[in-house]
Structure 1
Amino acid sequence: MISSASPAPGWQRFISQLSMVVRLVLWILVCLCISRGLLVWLNRHAMDGATTGWEYAEAMLVGLRFDGRIAAFLLAPSVILSALCLKFDLTKATRRTTLAAGFLFTILWLLLGTITLGYFREYHNQFDPHVLGVVYDDFGAVVQTIWKTYPIVRGLLVLLALMAGLCWLMRRWVLLDFPHRLPSAPRTLPGRIVWTLAVLFILVVGLRGAVKGRPVQEKDAGCTRDQVLNRCVVNPFFALHYAIGAHRRLMDQGGLDQYLDEKEIKAAFREFAGTDDLKTVDDAFLRKAAGPTGPVPRHIFVVLLESYDGWTMMPEHAAWDIAPNMLRLGKEGARVTRFVAASRSTMTSLSSVISGLADAGVITNERSRPGQPPFATSIAPQMNGLGFETHFFYSGLGTWQRVEDFAKEQGFKHTHMGPDMPKSPGSNEWGVTDRDLYQYIESTIRPDVPSFSVIMTASNHRPFSIDLAKEGCEVKVPATGYPNFAEGNATLGMLGHHKYSDKCVGEFVERMDAKAPGCFFALTADHWGRAFPGPRPTMMEQALVPLVLWQKGRTFPDLSGVGGSHYDLGATVIEMVAPQGASYHAIGRNLLGANPPVHAQSRLWDIGPDSIVAMGGEGRMETLDGKALAQPPADLPQQLRNYNLVHGLSWWRLIEGNELPR
């Protein structure tokens, strides 16, 4: 018989195992708070100077609600086994389960936390839907870039040592003899019920991240006025979970809900087309050409410069002098100063330029296969039909994100990949140098055969392997007026590669036009470079990519009031060469036409004449010079409607096909 002074064996098993669970909960919460605090500290310079101490505290407290959910999910099996110990001797199984959860958490926390720090520095966010692009990326090139850019061997050794040390420390902490004196087992039925309900209540609160009301949700992370601080609130586990969830929602049948109600989709097609006479989805994108308004170019080049930042061409950053050729060509020809890329990564933007459809978040290059007809909005087949020989040039491997297959499927008659080109010093795993690429193009294009080319460069990309001193493109010291340069994420080497990209494209335009007169160039970028020489770039400095239009002898209209994006390139190019009344398909508008767009709009941004808005639900708004807006722009509802139409209809065409909804 058990003495009344000693706890019952079942109770002793239960309370000892439960104490291990409690200690592991504390371990998890402390670890996640440390990683959040480190993320905040490392990005403190990017945060609003007006952010108060209370807002930092609130961010940490809200983060604890997400952390509690992680602890509860991991330890729910241990809690259940601990309760079963009241009746059965499951101490070994419970202990092993608890320790396994501790080892799993500690290893994943170190891995995800380390990756998050690097991802946040590059993309100014924790894991988001764009991180899933790594699944489709060139894994070998990614690994080689990381290997060349970071001290991987030393980093892995440090990480393994930390894993071993922290796992040992976690085990010691969890197995401590605590509490030293076990509480007495409840002797009455009400006492047992209270204990049971208390444990159940704590577990449920942990799983929900809330005592009352709804469970904690992703939107609760927006608890302060500081957007950068808000992005640090959720822990890496939930950030990855939300990223995967958002990606899956866009890819499945519910993805349309991000933009349009399925019940109104047919009316949305009619609204976009401006007519009820639609037999297919593609009919909504049908246009009639107004006819050329200037000399019809014989050769057209749409050049996407890797990571070419629009801020480098802004007057306030002229001191860097790393975009002289683009500025010169823009002055000689024309330049759209409010222009944005389709998306924030290379393939998603390039896919939009090639397909003519908006980036709706559904991996456009995976939506076509050999044997399927190109999208009606695709630029290459339409240019083929207008008598142009179509070429796609890419510095890298054609297998990267199946870019060569995609270009062929979308109508390009000739594709040219990095292995076809000469390879000089400075080439790397992402492709040949810009100079190698352009020289190959110059030797390939036949002056007497009209041609249309889309070109994708690669040199302005990690691991940044160009010999800048040899090229005369070194940036040796920060420009005057940038005392906080070290607090930004740009390096002098990055900016030097930007200057090299500018130098090479300037040389290419001059040489190509000399060889084949009648060339038209549309020079833009795949996305902004995600690097800035200071801690807090404005939204405009983050959003802008260039668009320079150049053709010798051509008089361009005044584009000072025009806003545009990659979505408008197809219509602009086709309208320059298509005869009056010719039919074509596009989602954007002619930037050189009589009624050009005023707003620059993409999946990420809407830039109007006086303000910029972050699209896709984040809701940040600023004036063009970076000041906070007192109230939303008056035309925001109209722009949101246009945004949802363009992206919702593109989503339908990519996912559901060319058949109109019934």
Structure 2
Amino acid sequence: MKFSLRTFGRHLLGALASATLQAWVMVLCVACALSLLRVGQIAWHWPEGLEVSLADLWSVVFQGARFDLKVCAAAAILLWPVLIIVPARWHSWLTGTVTLLFVTASLVNLHYFGFYKTPIDPVVFGFFEDDTKAILQTIWSDFPVTLTLSVLAAASWGAMAARKAAYDRLSLRLNRGIGDRLIPVWLTLLGVLCALFLLALTTKGTLRAMALGRQNVSVTTSQFLNDMVPNGVIALKFAWDGRKASQNFSDPLLGLKQLGYDSPMAAARVLGIEASDNKALRASLFAKGGEAPSAAGKPHKNLLFFLMESWSAEPFRYQAKDFDVLGRLAPTLAQACHFSNFDSAQPGTHPSLEAILFSTPITPLTLGPQGKRPIPWSVPLILKQAGYHTLFVTSTRSGWRDLDRVLRTQGFDEVVDANNLKAAYPEATLGIWGVWDSYVFRYLSERLKKKEDKPLFVFVLTATNHPPYDLPPEYQRIERNQAKWGGERNADTLWLNIDSYHYATDLLGGLVQEVRSGPQHANTVMAATGDHNVRSFGLYATPERRHLVSQVPFVIWGDGIDCGPQRQLPASHRDMFPTLLPLLGINSGFVKTGRNLLLDPAKQANPALNAPFSMNYYGTARNARGSWTLGDPASFVCSPGPAGADCRFDAQQDAWARAQLGLLDWNVRATLRH
């Protein structure tokens, strides 16, 4: 019996030591593979003109390696008990699976950054919520799939082969030492315990109280380099945390706390908002009338609003006779209010759509129960209650993200999508993302000629200016002086994208000209913006280009509109409907997400709520001096211009921005949590 127990104990000790050695060898080999992939990612995406110090590069590689060790150690701890239990012949399969998954995640992160200019974020979950087939078709046509699979195979095989070679050599010595009793039992046990302790410490990533986390990603002043720090696994973990927070309506203070405020009243005090309690504070976030000049008492005007797919602001800068990117839109700008220093709320189409229509920094909002009942401040619902007939028109399929259901619930009387347009125009072809945008503008042209009993609110979402940048066969590509393009040229789809950009913008310009020269001109306000910037136009990584990273146009056309002094001041999507609705005589009921861009901010009573800065709903802001991540003074990057010595982080403006964003978040969570 003694012999059996002693034998069992020796086998158990050997299994513990072997599993611990296997775990550590896997950690080191896979972490090395991830670090090498990071170096490759930096080289693959290196922006033209970016110059950084060797010390900054080393900081990124070193910090990235810490994250690599962290995620590999976490996987090893989870795998360790399994390695003890299962037969040794399965160990290579188990560690190989981890290797393959981690390398795949890093390669996904590489291409995700190329597309969205950010490491993997919550938008990634749209792969399953969007038209997955269309996304896969786009990936196949627009990304180096064969090269990526080759790198995946090589990196995974290299890490697995290195693990096997190292483990075979070390385990042979370990087993010989334990079997021949050259290593005492107590020393073997101590070694296993120390190795497990170090594994747990590596999972934490630091000796300090706070574990290595999102706050440790920023190690340089270059946003590009900081974006290279997370590997695919840790970026996916951050995205999952963000996704969970967006779906957590049990704690209305969640967003406020993340932005540095422990209560809504604390944020209100920073903004100079006087309110006796939370109910009064929530009421103060809504427009009450009498706060801006309006068309009150006059018949309501039609409002045509265009959310143009990937409609970046940068091409506007290079428009010329021999470099035509705007087509028929160009001559309309002289009679328009063009806000040329303007940012999108979010980096994706659906997040921006929700931000604009539902005044929410939380996304996805309407995929859960919150989308199944009317949101009281929904823009189409407010306009419907004001007597408008509300119409949503898109060249894509409205089943995308469940929009066909959500849009009707939130106040749209009609939803016209690619399927409706195909039925109306049988010659239309259904492509990856829907029908060509030309059918949207043809439908609108015909619809606007019909007599309506009510004023119209039309929200238009285009789709053609999207990878893979296909265009209808009848589109005539135009010659351009390519030297006039003043931006980056790294993307091989740049000129295809310029053509699809011109195609969509020219169609918009044609409709604007038609309406502005027709009988409805005095009775119609038109506005257009982009949902987000586009990847083909660059990474905007150099300091002199960083301010362009989220810029989209915002243009308003209408009779008798005084454009005011803010056309070159920083602004963003949150400022659009506080600007447009008063033009229609609607001065109450909507969330005051931002400021009215037609007014002089210097003449407004509350400077905190009217300060000329731009804010993204994912936590970045920009003023005339530079841009920064909210709450992080070290992230401040100066913008080019006359700021000079004044180029510095403004702590007060940062506090205002965090308070405004926090209160918008709180309003959504507190109101829609039941």
Equivalent-residue separation in structure 2 for 1:617 and 1:50 (angstroms): 21
CA distance in 1 between partners of 2:107 and 2:91 (Å): 24
Deviations 1:197-251 (A, max 9, x none): 4334432333222356643333223223332222222321111112211322343
- After TM superposition, list the pairs within 5 Å mapping 1:604-615 onto structure 2: 604=618, 605-615=620-630
Aligned 8 A contact 1:287 1:586 in 2:
no
Residue from 524, 533, 536 that aligns with 1:528: 533
- The answer for the alignment partner of 2:585 in structure 1 is 578
For residues 219-298 of structure 1, the aligned pairs below 5 Å read: 219-252=215-248, 253=251, 254-259=254-259, 261-265=261-265, 268=268, 274-276=274-276, 278=279, 281-282=282-283, 284-289=285-290, 290-292=292-294, 298=301
1:368 match: secondary structure? helix
1:140 and 2:133 aligned:
yes
Give structure 2 stretches of 5+ with no counterpart: 4-9, 605-609
**Aligned runs of 1:35-114 on 2, under 5 Å?**
35-45=37-47, 48-52=50-54, 54-76=55-77, 93=86, 95-96=88-89, 98-114=91-107
CA-atom RMSD, angstroms?
Answer: 3.9
Distance 1:65 1:293, change over 3 A: same
Contact 1:119 1:126 in 2 (8 A): yes
Q: Secondary structure at the match of 1:520?
A: strand
Which residue pairs with 2:7 in the alignment? Answer: none
Matched residue, 1:445 = 448
**Given residue 658 of structure 2, which amino acid in structure 1 is its aligned partner?**
N
- CA deviation vs aligned residue, 1:310-333 (integer Å, no higher than 9, x gap): 112236999743135444322222
Tell me the SS of whatever aligns to 1:23.
helix
- Match for residue 547 of structure 2 among 540, 554, 565: 540
Is the 8 Å Cα contact of residues 469 and 496 (structure 2) preserved in structure 1? yes
Change (3 A) 1:94 1:59: farther
Q: Which moved more, 1:181-190 or 1:209-218?
A: 181-190
> What's 1:592 paired with?
598
Residue aligning to 1:127: 120
Equivalent pair of 2:389/2:457 in contact (CA under 8 Å): yes
**Structure 1 residues 62 and 490: CA distance shift in structure 2, 3 A:** same
AA partner of residue 621 (structure 1)? F
Q: How far off is 1:645 after superposition?
A: 3.3
Counterparts in 2 of 1:330 and 1:427: CA distance versus 1, 3 Å: farther
C-alpha distance in 2 between matches for 1:213 and 1:279: 40
1:454 paired to 2:459: yes
More off after superposition, 112-121 vs 154-163:
154-163
Structure 1 residues 447 and 608, CA gap change in structure 2 (3 angstroms): farther
- The residue type paired with residue 75 of structure 1 is A
* Contact 1:394–1:456, Cα closer than 8 Å, also in 2: yes
Range 519-528 or range 224-233, more displaced: 224-233
Match of 1:87 in 2: none
Distance 1:286 1:383, change over 3 A: same
Return the letter of the residue paired with 2:482: P
C-alpha separation between the residues in 1 aligned to 2:271 and 2:264?
10
2:411 is aligned with 1:433: no
Q: Deviations over 1:410-468 (max 9, x none)?
A: 21222211211136567522122221101111222355432121111111101211048
Match for residue 176 of structure 1?
168
2:506 & 2:155 partners in 1: Cα distance?
46
1:534-577 CA distances to partner (integer Å, 9 max, x unpaired)? 87461222121111111256554344454432222222222112
- Aligned position for 1:550: 557
- 2:502 maps to what in 1? 499
* Greater CA drift, 143-152 or 123-132: 143-152
Q: Quick one: distance in 2 between partners of 1:553 and 1:627?
A: 32
In structure 1, which of residues 644, 657, 660 is the aligned counterpart of residue 671 of structure 2? 657
1:628 and 1:194 mapped to 2: Cα distance? 61
Query: Aligned match of 1:620 in 635, 651, 673?
Result: 635
Distance 1:256 1:589, change over 3 A: same
Give a deviation string over 1:10-63, Cα, whole Å, max 9, x none.
7766655555444333321221122112112212236840321x3323322222
Aligned-residue offset at 1:303: 0.8
Alpha-carbon displacement from aligned partner over 1:496-523 (angstroms, at most 9, x marks no partner): 1111111111111122344533322111
In the alignment, what sits opposite 1:358? 360
Cα displacement (A) at 1:142: 1.6
> Given residue 214 of structure 2, which amino acid in structure 1 is its aligned partner?
E
1:394–1:416 Cα contact (<8 Å) kept? yes
**CA–CA distance in structure 2, aligned partners of residues 201 and 374 of structure 1:** 51
Residues 1:301 and 2:304 aligned together = yes
1:471 aligns with 2:475: yes
Report 1:472-491 matches (<5 A): 472-474=476-478, 478-480=482-484, 485-488=488-491, 491=494
Structure 1 residue 489, shift from structure 2 partner:
6.7
Give CA-to-partner distance per residue, 1:172-194, whole Å, 9 cap, x none.
53663446644474666764565
Q: Distance in 1 between matches of 2:114 and 2:630?
A: 21
Q: CA deviation at 1:365?
A: 5.6
Query: Which stretch has the larger CA shift, 267-276 or 302-311?
Result: 267-276
State how far apart, in whole Å, the 2-side matches of 1:244 and 1:658 are.
Answer: 22
Partner secondary structure for residue 360 of structure 1: coil
Over 3 Å counting, the alpha-carbon distance change for 1:594 and 1:485 in structure 2 is closer
Q: Show the counterpart of 2:316.
A: 313
Corresponding letter in the other structure for 1:231: D
CA distance in 1, matches of 2:471, 2:223: 36
Say whether the 8 Å CA contact 1:302–1:454 is kept in structure 2.
yes
Give me the TM-score of the superposition, normalised by structure 2: 0.82
Q: Deviations over 1:259-283 (max 9, x none)?
A: 3634344873996765548558345
Q: Which is worse superposed, 117-126 or 546-555?
A: 546-555
Corresponding residue to 2:513 among 510, 515, 520? 510
CA contact (8 A) 1:78 1:98 kept: no
- Match of 1:465, SS state, is coil
Q: Partners of 1:35 and 1:658 in 2: how far apart? A: 43
SS in 2 for 1:392: strand
- Partners of 1:568 and 1:590 within 8 A in 2: yes
Contact 1:306 1:461 in 2 (8 A): yes
Structure 1 unaligned blocks of 5 or more:
2-7, 83-89
Q: For 2:127 and 2:402, how far apart are their aligned partners in 1? A: 13
SS of equivalent to 2:621: strand
Query: Do 2:564 and 2:597's aligned partners in 1 also have CA atoms closer than 8 Å?
Result: no
Q: Structure 1 residues 557, 198: CA separation in 2 closer, same or farther (over 3 Å shift)? A: closer
**Secondary structure at 1:455's aligned position in 2?**
strand
Shifted more, 288-297 versus 459-468: the winner is 288-297
- Structure 1 residues 559 and 488: CA distance shift in structure 2, 3 A: same
Which residue type is aligned with residue 128 of structure 1?
D
The one-letter code matched in structure 2 to 1:23 is V
2:419: which partner in 1?
419
Change (3 A) 1:559 1:195: closer
Mapped contact 1:69–1:208 kept (Cα < 8 A):
yes
* Cα separation, 2, equivalents of 1:74 and 1:365: 31
SS at match of 1:307: coil
Counterpart in 2 of 1:565? 572
| Number of the residue aligned with 1:645 | 659
